[in-house]
Structure 1
């Protein structure tokens, strides 16, 4: 962008200037005027709230990012911008105006033919499209948030990779406190990030394998939370995913076995639990208790079935 096409005039000096980096969230008020006749096109205060922008996220009006990066916090300044840099302003303005209207009063998207014949639904913006001119922006920079908590979709891929172990540890801490649902939500968020990143890699490649290696323990942690919540079929599904990659994963076998008991699949439960005991003898005593309880429950159910169908003719 040719910054020589932007002229700045400070109306009120702000705090000490410091560079605003990409990824920073800023809030500001603005007034947009036509330079030729000083007609006011938009005023954020009349719209009801400040404009919010995250620098570097390819906002439709690139010149606003360039303007904001020339400002100090709490500064009020006037910028005269050459018409070549604001050709997209009518569309940005339409989006902003529509967003502040009740749904039933919004100007909905028009096809290309309608755009040519009817414009974009606002007479002043239609005129600006037909007769482009320089625009004047009066801006007041209200806040700069370098360390705000970004939504996941706003993160770079490197930031997403770094977030996964953080979410896992947060989930672990919640689990230790007995907060199964909250812990599961953390694990689920981490898993969603990994799934998104894995879609960009070829299965079996080194990058994909590295991501999958992070995914498997998260699936096990998530499964334990769901097991505690009695969501047995979810546990069976996720532990099976782990076992497809690691057939001798004892935690997956044990948790799937317990889930099979909950879902009352006794044959599958017995098979998983016995295999877990074979692979990790230190679990044998605990698993023997589970298997004994399983046998007792089977006998009880068999007796109930016999009593229920006793004397009935088939």
Structure 2
């Protein structure tokens, strides 16, 4: 089969395919839900053919599930032209490579053992959509500012039909994702009660990722989106309760502030933020948050009174520490 036919076979503008190593058998069935395992290498179209990513260097092949909204959907089309064990090089024009830096960032974070979602810069809000955020990798920032055509060298290892493998949470459809949320939520609550905060945060996080995945496909501020926003906030606050127990106070302040900025009536967010402020001796901020809690829900009077007692105790301890510290100086 000539390259020309291969190019047509992809039926897309801006793609050229060259087979480097022929595969075996017929082209597999790439149906929705099929799991595709492959190695990939991404290179710039410069003289050095600079390598951006290489799954062989990382040591694990890539897996995607067909029809699962994988952000770089062009890979589905490229793979669908290949046989098992085939190695092919695809030149792809800018129209197909614009999102690559975002996808690459997620893949790199996963291979570094981090969360694919960067929790520290998830400050939402319309303004941030247009603000320029660094992806945390210089080469990807470059590509983001100035998209370029890329070479993808793919090696197809295997294709498993939906019945042949166990589907994991990232391979779920939207309906399944939403079904998984209450289950994960329940598991998180149970672990929290047992005092296993680390494991509980994992369950809450997984549930939040499921919700966010579905929520991004809804129209912002409309009913379904708001319903998911509410579910997401509830889980984020549970997550923050774990963080309080784990003494991650600044992270609590960050997440609760995000919620408060979008939803100024979020009582529990103010309450948890107040508690975190107490622990890091931000006296004025803590008092402000607790008075806001009482404005929003006078029924919280007893709980707030208790927290203010803790605050007074904390401040007393700190003053005593400061006095002892300065005593030695004079």
CA gap of 1:158–1:300, structure 2 versus 1, over 3 A, is closer
Alignment pair present for 1:213 and 2:230:
yes
Are positions 1:266 and 2:283 aligned together? yes
Helix, strand or coil: the match of 1:170? helix
Q: 1:23 aligns with which of 18, 33, 37?
A: 33
Quick check: 1:243–1:253 contact (8 Å CA) kept in 2? yes
Matched, 1:255 2:265: no
Q: What is the CA–CA distance in structure 2 between the aligned matches of 1:175 and 1:147, rounded to whole Å?
A: 35
Partner of 1:88: 82
The normalised TM-score by structure 2 is 0.50
Is residue 187–residue 203 contact of structure 2 (8 Å, CA) maintained in 1?
yes
Counterparts of 1:145 and 1:198, CA distance in 2: 25
Structure 2's unaligned 5+ residue stretches are 1-30, 37-62, 69-75, 89-148, 154-159
Residues 53, 298 of structure 1: alpha-carbon distance in 2 compared, 3 angstrom cutoff: closer
> If you compute each CA radius of gyration, which structure gives the higher value, 1 or 2?
1
Is 2:263 the counterpart of 1:236? no
Residues 1:312 and 1:168: Cα distance change in structure 2 (over 3 Å): closer
Where in structure 2 are the equivalents of 1:87-166 lying within 5 Å?
88-89=82-83, 92-94=85-87, 146=163, 149-166=166-183
Shift of 1:184: 1.0
Corresponding residue for 2:115?
Answer: none
Tell me the CA shift for residue 301 of structure 1: 2.4
For residues 190-232 of structure 1, give each alpha carbon's deviation from its aligned partner in whole angstroms, at most 9, with x where no partner exists. Answer: 2122223333344334443232122111111111111111111
Provide the C-alpha distance between the structure 1 equivalents of 2:320 and 2:66, rounded to a whole number of angstroms: 70
1:65-111, CA deviations, whole angstroms, 9 ceiling, x for partnerless residues?
A: xxxxxxxxxxxxxxxxxxxxxx733x84338xxxxxxxxxxxxxxxx
Q: Aligned partners of 1:149 and 1:166: how far apart in 2? A: 18
Q: Give the number of aligned pairs.
A: 209
CA distance in 2, matches of 1:299, 1:196: 46
Match of 1:292 in 2: 309
> Following the alignment from structure 2 to structure 1, what is the Cα–Cα distance between the partners of residues 232 and 309?
33
Report the Cα distance in structure 1 between the residues aligned to 2:66 and 2:257, rounded to whole angstroms. Answer: 43
Per the alignment, residue 174 of structure 1 pairs with 191
CA distance in 1, matches of 2:82, 2:293: 64
Q: Deviations over 1:229-266 (max 9, x none)?
A: 11111111121222223323322122111111112211
Give the Cα–Cα distance (whole angstroms) in 2 for the partners of residues 273 and 222 of structure 1. Answer: 20
Partner of 1:204: 221
> Does the Cα contact within 8 Å between 2:35 and 2:66 map onto a contact in 1?
yes
Q: For the Cα contact (< 8 Å) 2:278–2:314, is it kept in 1?
A: no
**Aligned match for 2:322, one of 305, 308, 313:** 305
- Counterpart of 2:132 in structure 1 is none
1:204/1:281 Cα in 2 relative to 1: closer, same or farther (>3 Å)?
closer
